[in-house]
Amino acid sequence: MRPAILSDPEQMLALVEKQKREGKRVGLVPTMGALHDGHLSLVHRCTEETDFTIVTIFVNPTQFGPGEDLDKYPRDLQQDTDLLSQFDVHAVFAPDVDTMYPPGASTSVMPADVAKPLEGALRPGHFEGVATIVLKLFQLIPADVAYFGQKDYQQTRVIQQMIEDFHLPIDMVVCPIVRDEDGLALSSRNSYLSTVQRQQAAGLSRALFHIRDLAGSGNLEAASLLKAASQILADASIDQIDYVALVDKRSLEPVQRVDENTIAIGAVRIGATRLIDNVLLAQ
């Protein structure tokens, strides 16, 4: 079915409140659009588990740093709504920037300590922007449950911590990473890659899965696992490595020896394109 497209926050809030009065379970899938099968897996799960699914499409300027890809980030609302029509999505909320950040708006969320390492260290202000927009969306769309992807693992930790710390009355579901056949995690940014870069890009997931396989066969020393991973990245001609780390899946602090609570997480740049990925070692 073709979802209703709303951009007015009051209409959005009224629609959600009506569903809740009728006793419906409302689900929210926040996205920046340029939808692919990764996003659609969240949408599908939301439609299975709730009575009323709302997808938001908003390229949030405050989570992009200076020199990042805000201007070139792919935007195609028509194509996105066509893709969503395969599912029982009831509404798409696609507000303007001025609606979410009216002139003069200056309050923001200071995210928890889990926002500090990894992405937070390399993208100052990123998680402040993420937490702020997610809180705004939760206010306008007081859903029962929100769906996020493990693809942005640190983001899920930041939002989970915000939900806990602010006692937000919403549950969070984290959905597994959807990958291409060669292992590359689907991302809207993959569209920036040339054919050669696209082949190189698969090296990141190969390196992370290699860590998982070695750990599974008893090699638990983080230093030796990271060395093996860097060899895989080198073999794939990936030489701009922002980080590849073995961290505790809750605190995101580095570990010396891996266990079932460890996550292998990485970010690399291929040309001008930045890619992130992660693999839970318990899987």
* Binding footprint of ligand AMP on the chain (CB under 6 A): 31-32, 38-39, 41-42, 148-149, 151-152, 175, 177-178, 185-188
C-alpha Rg value of the chain to the nearest Å: 19
Query: Is the Cβ of residue 117 or residue 129 nearer to ligand AMP in the bound state?
Result: 129
Q: How far is the CB of 165 from ligand AMP (least distance, A)?
A: 20
Closer residue to ligand AMP, CB minimum distance, 39 or 123: 39
Return the C-alpha torsion angle 47, 53, 57, 58, nearest 10.
-130
| Least separation in angstroms between CB 100 and ligand AMP | 14
Closest to ligand AMP by CB, 30 or 258: 30
**Cβ proximity to ligand AMP, 42 vs 232, nearer residue:** 42
Q: Please give, one letter per residue, the 3-state secondary structure of the chain.
A: CCCEEECCHHHHHHHHHHHHHCCCCEEEEEECCCCCHHHHHHHHHHHHHCCEEEEEECCCHHHCCCCCCCCCCCCCHHHHHHHHCCCCEEEEECCCHHHHCCCCCCCCCCCCHHHCCCHHHHCCCHHHHHHHHHHHHHHHCCCCEEEEEHHHHHHHHHHHHHHHHCCCCCEEEEECCCECCCCCECCHHHHHCCHHHHHHHHHHHHHHHHHHHHHHCCCCEHHHHHHHHHHHHHHCCCCEEEEEEEEECCCCCECCECCCCEEEEEEEEECCEEEEEEEECCC
Q: 35 or 225, CB closer to ligand AMP?
A: 35
Minimum CB–partner distance for residue 107 and ligand AMP (Å)? 22
What amino acid occupies position 117? P
Options 39, 44, 90, 210, the catalytic residue: 39
| 39 is an active site residue | yes
Closest CB to ligand AMP among 203 and 258? 203
Q: How far is the CB of 254 from ligand AMP (least distance, A)?
A: 23
The least CB distance from residue 224 to ligand AMP, in Å, is 29
Residue with tokens 């984290």: 174
Give min distance, CB of 58 to ligand AMP, in A.
9
The residues that bridge with 57 in the sheet, in sequence order, are: 31
Task: Please name the residue that has the structure tokens 């899965």.
Answer: 209
Catalytic residues: 39
